[in-house]
Amino acid sequence: MLDERLLARVPSLGALPAAARAELARRGVNLSFRRGEFLFHAGDPTRGLFFVLEGRVRVINERDGRRYLVHEEGPGATLGEVPLMLGGGYPASALAGTDVRCLRFSRAALDAAMSGSPEVAWLLLRRMAERVRTLVGRLEQRSATPILQSLAALILERSAEGGPAVTLAATQQELAESLGTVREVIARQLTALKRAGAIRAAGRGRIEVADRSRLIRLARDARV
């Protein structure tokens, strides 16, 4: 059984009717994963719907010895909708990119909550729609946006989340997977951003935004 205050930390769950929150709290599970641990692997049978409380989760596919990032999720996100609704195994693997805390609800728990609160069903549909929009946006970005521009946009996004000094990923390889390229390209683009005065090293694999206006311009136009 969960403390209902945990549910309140997820805006979408906190907005549900009290009866639905109570049902989910009664049946939910609180889980923690260390960076590098898998929440689930592709092909595994469904374990339920995951709501991320803390940390970042990388959803990946692995082919020919390489990893490909499908999408990355942070606090408030959900994972595992596809096999929950359609059956079968997970279509991709979920890997903790940082230490992660999440809540997990079985299909039975969600059914019980939906039986008295249709808002739960709308919540799941909304999350699926948001996921589709995100994936379409990623496809468009990969096909039409220079890597330097994508990298500048990613740095802006992460700095807005956690302050001017940010850790983009545990390694440059993970960052390359995020942007659909290879590590050597990322190293060159980070050097280009430093030379342009947009970022600077902040120690221990972290970078700091040195000139936000310059970085914003580069996120819109990749010319340095």
CA 126, 99, 105, 93 torsion-angle sign: positive
Domains of the chain in start order, with CATH, are 4-141 (2.60.120.10), 145-220 (1.10.10.10)
Query: Which of 62-71, 78-87, 126-135, 168-177 is predicted most confidently?
Result: 78-87
Q: How far is it, in rounded angstroms, from Cα 135 to Cα 157?
A: 17
Question: In the 8-state DSSP scheme, what is residue 78?
Answer: E
pTM of the predicted structure, to 2 decimals: 0.64
> Which of the pair, 55 or 159, is modelled with greater confidence?
55
104 residue type, one letter = R
What the block records as the tokens of 53 is 């409380």
Q: Which band of pLDDT confidence, cut at 50, 70 and 90, is reported for residue 25?
A: confident
